[in-house]
Amino acid sequence: MVVLTVVFMRVAVVGMELGEMGRVRPVIERFAGEMFADLPRRDQRGKGELYVQRLLTDGKRKSMVPMAARLGVDPQQLQQFVTSSTWDYRQVRRRLTGWAAGFCDPVALVVDDTGFPEGRAASPGVARMYSGTLGKVGNCQIGVSVHAVTDWASAAVAWRLFLPTCWDDTTLTDPTEVAAARARERAAIPDKARHREKWRLVLDMIDELAGWGMPVRPVVADAGYGDAAAFRQGLTDRNIPYVLAVKPTATAYPADAVPVTAPYPGNSRRPTPAYPDPPRDLKSLVMAAGRRTGRSVTWRHGTHRTPANPTAGMRSRFLALRVRPAGRNITRNPDRSLPVCWLLAEWPVGQPEPTDYWLSTLPTGIPLRDLVRLAKIRWRIEHDYRELKDGLGLDHFEGRTFAGWHRHVTLVRVAQALCTQLRRTPKVPAPA
């Protein structure tokens, strides 16, 4: 019998009993051979394949000892392969990026972060932080990820472990904190890995992906990233369009607002063009436009069919305005005007005001439905996190090294990519 994990409409090809592994072993061997081709030694390539197999096998806990027991191998072999071997996980990630760009042909890159509850303070990056996984502040690690997303599939293509300031000895002055930062050495954190804001880690990963052949795609993220004007500007500087959620308290000028130059008094610096009125918050701009300017949009079809909604259409009312977001971190045009972009707002029927807001630099002629579809495509990343954690053991790593964490995450990504390929390829003998 094969145990399948079903996540909405996505069947995760995980939880296979060992007796059933033979049905897909040729596919696993071929895929692993491609992903681990750059590992310098045969035994490393073999252990990489073995590790992926143990991630796919049945069993709730996917840490070293129970998985090794199910495979009948020495857990120390897998432990050494992940924590202290010499293979470069970036080469595997480069091959995964090439696979995702070709196989998935993503329509967007979705970015987010997720928490890894961790009680051991010695594990790299652990600190008391808010975690959506915990729903509160607690000891955890935070992983920041980029996912190649399309309507039918998604794959995590980049990960970084977020290092809080207490793990960066160059930012600390308190003696007790400096002492705590010595844990960097015990966790073998490389000197170049320092505290960086999560949005900066995302820009680093996007640059890396571009160098590995990932085509330019719109970046989609929640307000944790969209509210950072410097992040939006970083994407614009790279000529990457975006659809980013923002809070309604963010400010902007209407698209027709024009900076003016005050008269020159003749006895001081010449004034530069400036907007005569202060910017308005996004909620005020949308409320002024009015509900009637919106349109009903169905952006996708789900699985919850009802007599009133037999196609399970996901539908709401949206309006899109052209605005000029305000902010000191935004590069102005030569005439000192701020760049124009889309303000998208969701205003559901029956609600007194909009519920969600996005800023987007997609082209002016984009249909409203396409704009909404990309704004809403973040739903796939929640499916990824569920499959990666519940099905493939993403947060089951018990090692205490920086490289070990990144290697484990990379190997889980290989397993997820294999599951995606098995689900999409009808001729593959997948478990049923």
* 99-157: pLDDT as tens digits: 999 999 999 999 999 998 876 778 899 999 988 777 889 889 999 999 999 988 899 99
Contact status, residue 294 vs residue 319, Cβ threshold 8 Å: yes
Please check whether residue 152 lies inside any domain of the structure: no
Q: Are residues 339 and 407 in the same domain?
A: no
Q: How far apart are CA 153 and CA 411, in angstroms?
A: 19
Pairing of strands 313-325, 295-301: antiparallel
Structure token digits, residue 295: 């349109």
Indicate the helix (H) or strand (E) that contains 154.
strand 154-161
Q: Give yes or no for residue 309 having a pLDDT over 60.
A: yes
Average pLDDT of span 55-84? 71
Res 117: pLDDT: 85
Q: Give yes or no for residue 252 having a pLDDT over 70.
A: yes
Q: Are residues 409 and 349 in the same domain?
A: no
Res 315: pLDDT: 92
- Burial label for 349, CB within 10 Å (0-12, 13-18, 19+), is exposed
Q: Give yes or no for residue 188 having a pLDDT over 60.
A: yes
Q: Are residues 251 and 329 in the same domain?
A: yes
Alpha-helical runs (H) found in 319-375: 368-375
Which residue reads 């796939």 in tokens? Answer: 380
Which residue reads 């959620």 in tokens? Answer: 245
Res 10: pLDDT: 36
Q: Are residues 326 and 404 in the same domain?
A: no
Q: Are residues 352 and 403 in the same domain?
A: no
Q: 142 forms bridges with which residues in the sheet?
A: 115
Distances (CA, A) of 378 to 20, 147, 294, 385: 34, 10, 22, 12
Please check whether residue 62 lies inside any domain of the structure: yes
Q: Are residues 248 and 349 in the same domain?
A: yes
Please check whether residue 327 lies inside any domain of the structure: yes
Average pLDDT of span 276-305? 93
pTM of the model: 0.89
Please check whether residue 336 lies inside any domain of the structure: yes
What own/partner pairs with CB < 8 Å and gap ≥ 24 does 268-271 have? none
Sorting pLDDT into bands at 50, 70 and 90, what band is 3? Answer: very low
Res 68: pLDDT: 65
Res 180: pLDDT: 60
- Burial label for 325, CB within 10 Å (0-12, 13-18, 19+), is buried
Q: Are residues 404 and 312 in the same domain?
A: no
Please check whether residue 206 lies inside any domain of the structure: no
Side-chain half-sphere CA neighbours of 355 within 13 A: 9
Q: Are residues 299 and 371 in the same domain?
A: yes
Q: How far apart are CA 386 and CA 292, in angstroms?
A: 38
Q: Give yes or no for residue 16 having a pLDDT over 60.
A: no
Q: How far apart are CA 208 and CA 189, in angstroms?
A: 20
Please check whether residue 185 lies inside any domain of the structure: no
Please check whether residue 17 lies inside any domain of the structure: yes
Res 317: pLDDT: 97
Q: What percent of the chain has pLDDT over 70?
A: 88
Structure token digits, residue 388: 């990666």
Domain that holds residue 316: 242-257+274-377
Alpha-helical runs (H) found in 331-401: 368-375, 379-386
Q: Give yes or no for residue 295 having a pLDDT over 70.
A: yes
Structure token digits, residue 395: 């947060």
SS3 content of the chain, % helix, strand, coil (to 5): 40, 20, 40
Q: Are residues 406 and 373 in the same domain?
A: no
Looking at the structure of the chain, the number of domains it has is: 2
Q: Which residues contact 386 (CB under 8 A, 6 or more apart)?
A: 7
Q: Are residues 79 and 43 in the same domain?
A: yes
User: Average pLDDT, whole number, for the chain?
Assistant: 87
Q: How far apart are CA 90 and CA 417, in angstroms?
A: 16
Q: Are residues 404 and 302 in the same domain?
A: no
Pairing of strands 108-117, 219-221: parallel
Q: Which residues contact 335 (CB under 8 A, 6 or more apart)?
A: 259, 273
Contact status, residue 116 vs residue 142, Cβ threshold 8 Å: yes
DSSP code, position 60: S
Q: Are residues 251 and 347 in the same domain?
A: yes
Structure token digits, residue 328: 């000191």
Res 215: pLDDT: 96
Please check whether residue 392 lies inside any domain of the structure: no
Sorting pLDDT into bands at 50, 70 and 90, what band is 12? Answer: very low
Res 331: pLDDT: 94
Q: How far is CA 213 from the centre of its chain?
A: 18
Q: Give yes or no for residue 17 having a pLDDT over 90.
A: no
Average pLDDT of span 27-31? 91
